[in-house]
A and B are shown apart, each in its own frame.
Chain A
Amino acid sequence: MRSEATRGWLVISAPLLYALLLLIGPIIVILANSFWTQDYLTIDRTFTLDNYRAALGEPIYRDLLFRSLKVSAIVSVVTVILAYPVAYFISFHGGRAKGLWIFIITVPFWTGYLLRILSWKVILGYKGVLNSALLGLGVISEPLETLLYSLNAVIITLAHSWAAFAILPIYVSLEKLDRTLLEAAADLGQGPIRQFLRVTLPLTLPGVIAALLIVMIPTVGDYVTPKLVGGKDGVMIANAIQVQFGKASNWPLGAALAVTTMIIVSMSAALMVLALQLFRRLMK
């Protein structure tokens, strides 16, 4: 009989190999590409850092990177703040229907990615649903022009798209919370607000950080939202990457932009995890 480890590796080898071949392999190729140069249709494989110089030095790319990071940071913070009370409600007051609540909240996330973004275009447009509602209510006298095709439109749409993703990790950490700690705090005379601030929130912080990351990472690289509702001011780094692999046909530069994005996102993620650990050490 083979050892348990060998059998484990054998069973997991097929999916692992698939991920290695179709994910890790291609990412290594992209990394290699980012150090090359493209001359029309031929790729010059001499090592160069020019693409990174362009990605970080040229104002257009630097601004796009910075803007994408800003958007994804705002989106993740907004999403998490709005999602926390919902996760809290389901975990503490969901009763037997917890699973159903989670299902109801996650369903929109799975349905019609493209169409939900289109829907925001319809809502935020000049003659859109929001403008006509505000006009009808007499809040405004002329339609607002700045709703659609702006950075705000991108932020609203992304925050809506990723709402469910933020709730899940927070919910899981709330479920793991030992409820007797809250009873102990109550017995010691702590009111509900202090119970929340001194027990619930610190202990569910890992879930909050996970939620921030799980929203931040995909939103940095979102392509469709800026394209459909962002207009000129809402262009993000993914759009620039796409142009390099499409019309502009400069793969190495596109690769360098992609790698830079990945590195910056990973660094921000690492920083957040470090901050969490520091916080925990201070709490002890």
Chain B
Amino acid sequence: MSAILLLVLGLGGMAAGYFVYSRFIAEKIYKLDPDFRTPAHEFEDGVDFVPTNRFVLWGHHFTSVAGAAPIVGPAIAVIWGWLPAFLWVVLGTIFFAGVHDSGAIWASVRNRAKSVGSLTGEVVGGRARSVFMIVIFLVLLMVNAVFGVVIAKLLINNPGAVVPVWGAIAVALVIGQLIYRRKIGLGLVSVVGVAALYALIYIGPSVPVTLPESTAGLSANALWILILFGYAAIASLLPVWVLLQPRDYINGLQLFVGLILLYGAVIIASPTVVAPMINFGVPEGTPSMLPLLFVTIACGAISGFHGLVASGTTSKQLDKETDARFVGYFGAVGEGALALAAIIAATAGFASLADWQAVYTSFGQGSLTAFVDGGAFILAAGTGMEVTVAATLLTVMAALFAGTTMDTGLRLQRYIFQEWGEIYNIGWMRKALPATLLSVASCLILAFGAGGADGSGGLLIWPLFGTTNQLLAGLTLLVITVMLVRRGRPTLYTLGPLVFLLVMTLAALLMQLRDFFEKENWFLLGLDLVVLVAAVLVTLECVAALRRAKGAAANDESAS
């Protein structure tokens, strides 16, 4: 089957979701009001609260939520065949992610642009807020650990990408200085910056860099992980304008360039999907598709992380309440499109079924490597560039996304440690450096603890990361549902996804618990138990909060 069919069906479905379903949700359920005075106008201060053009806001929202995660998840999940991953990404984007993201913006805008964390405290209760903090911490911890492992693997598989990946950081540093200190126009800087980056990508394969196989008893993989965390620790302590801001900007440009190139190449080359529709002969040790599919692909179908972005920065800059539909729902569609590109690359980017099976030898194999190899195959066929250069281009793209997430993730983890230092009155923990070291140490324990001294087992925690991410989404959906109940509006459209997510999450956790027990992986078993406790608490909170809200709504009715 031609991959173009997947592309047309997928993008067509998501576009229909935007034009039909999101309109219904915005008008009938959230009842977005163009005349509502948004926090951006009410508290306008030129810093946090600034009414922003909706296209700019969409660009920012989309590039903040789309990173390496919507690539990694689908590229792992196609091990069950292309159809399950495809359906979950397309239907998840339409009925789950779009509703969740635009709902998070709406909920925040209606509550003076508060974050989902504090909204959980106010709308649901104090206990739920504590659970929320723990869940966020776990999400950050896991995403940092996994991404450290993933980038290390990419750099080992493609030594030609080492120079451009690290060179991109130098380019970002220069861009930051030129814009902030020299006040040079953004247009010129962007053109020169992107040209420099692509020049690095072009020369990268001719200057490959490989680390020695063993340094002081550490494998090359382990050494890369340590170097990456060392870098992320330093980067997360720098002022944001020095590195994070310009790199985020380059990533945004890269994301658009990458998507256009990939989709363009698919249309020109029309590759054939070689992976089976449903893989009945999965490698031994692969967990059951149901429920694991729904936690393996979190970002790209529904992801709690989006709620943090939606309520953290986006809601403070929303010009009109009706923009929540375009920014939130269409932002989710953008991420779905990236996940779809990952599915196509990981299923149609191979010459034959045997080649595909050689990559997907066990669960967790494939991931970014399959995306890079498959995507490079398609890019080379579609655009005529050399396969090595195409592979370097995609490796740089993926590594930059993952690297920025690590940098931001460590920064946020540090804030959480510092906050705990405040709450529990631990003086040293309030300082930036010790808090950063604590964050790095916890990530390293996870990265190495999960899979041994060479850090290769880090991907085992990917489904656990998905589970935790879904719990976060569940909490946001709960906040939205409680608000809807209080307003006497239909709750099916948010409660349905919420119940589905909780059932799948709990089932996946229990299934993995048994798996870890059988494999005697006590470290991951412990981690699974922690997430399971959080999941049970979230479920109980959901039941209690909805009962309370329904009771209150009934009282209001009888009183009036």
> Are A and B interaction partners?
no
